[in-house]
Amino acid sequence: AQTVTQSQPEMSVQEAETVTLSCTYDTSESDYYLFWYKQPPSRQMILVIRQEAYKQQNATENRFSVNFQKAAKSFSLKISDSQLGDAAMYFCAFTNAGKSTFGDGTTLTVKP
């Protein structure tokens, strides 16, 4: 069974600064997908970014980028130029053969 570990229950960042959220996973599979989802207080799960394991290039979506280290089974999320609207819980997810496993989440606070 796959496991996903987010070792930082809480993180804080100053507005306009950069923050990195950590995620590691354990799997014996070679073909899979990784995702970061954002859950603001509204509870809506919003897709932030995704990474295909077969791609070596790190995914980027505007201010959000990942550092995908397949050998180390690490998938961190970097948020640049943090904004107040980035405050939320962030979940890392591993998906293989249709099933997803989610980490426990990291609560991000953005300080003005």
Partner 1 sequence: DAGVIQSPRHEVTEMGQEVTLRCKPISGHNSLFWYRQTMMRGLELLIYFNNNVPIDDSGMPEDRFSAKMPNASFSTLKIQPSEPRDSAVYFCASRLAGGVETQYFGPGTRLLVL
Q: How remote is the C-alpha of 17 from its chain's centroid? A: 18
Q: Of residues 10, 47, 63, 111, which one binds partner 1 by CB under 8 A?
A: 47
Contact between 70 and partner 1 (CB under 8 A)?
A: no
Cα-based distances in Å from 19 to 28, 52, 56, 84, 92: 29, 23, 22, 13, 15
CB 32 within 8 A of CB 53: yes
Contact between 16 and partner 1 (CB under 8 A)?
A: no
Nearer to partner 1, 24 or 100 (CB): 100
**Footprint of partner 1 (CB under 8 A):** 33, 35, 37, 42-47, 50, 52, 91, 95, 98-105
